[in-house]
Amino acid sequence: MKVITLHTPIVTDELLEHLRSKLNTLFREQRQETIVFTIEKNGEAIEISQPEMYEGVLFKLEIKGSELWITRNEHYVDDVNSLTLESILNSLFEDMSDDPRGVDLVTEG
């Protein structure tokens, strides 16, 4: 799991909408692939999956106070699509921060 500090408070529904509006387009531009990821809210978590290609959820995002907890599917850590998604997610989290500090990595494991 990766934990990052959010210097700007983020609401789950705002993050969900931001991801839905940008993630697939950015992925298509970077990878030149027409893979479409499903981005859904499950309880208070956001889950990103692609059921036609991957078993289970690729990323689970949970806002815990001033932290964003990111759980990545351990079966796809070296997968190029998963790595591309992670890079895009990091940039989208930065987009949501209006604080000059952006976001900080707290822990990764």
**Domain tally, the chain:** 1
Q: Are residues 37 and 58 in contact, defined by beta-carbon separation less than 8 angstroms?
A: yes
Whether residue 72 has pLDDT greater than 80: yes
User: Which domain does 15 fall in, by range?
Assistant: 2-108
Mean pLDDT of the residues in the chain: 86
Q: Are residues 22 and 75 in contact, defined by beta-carbon separation less than 8 angstroms?
A: no
Task: State residue 67's pLDDT score.
Answer: 87
| Complete edge-to-edge strand list for the sheet that includes strand 57-64 | 38-42, 45-49, 57-64, 67-72, 2-6, 103-108
CATH of the domain at 76: 3.30.310
Q: How far is 87 from 103, CA to CA, in rounded Å?
A: 14
Task: State residue 108's pLDDT score.
Answer: 53
Q: Taking the CB of residue 46, how many other CB atoms lie within 10 A of it?
A: 23
pLDDT in tens, 24-41: 999 999 999 989 999 999
Task: State residue 37's pLDDT score.
Answer: 97
pLDDT in tens, 39-66: 999 999 999 999 999 999 999 999 998 8
Task: State residue 39's pLDDT score.
Answer: 98
Q: Residue 84's closest CA among 17, 40, 25?
A: 25
Calculate mean pLDDT across residues 76-82: 88
| pLDDT band at residue 70 under the 50/70/90 scheme | very high
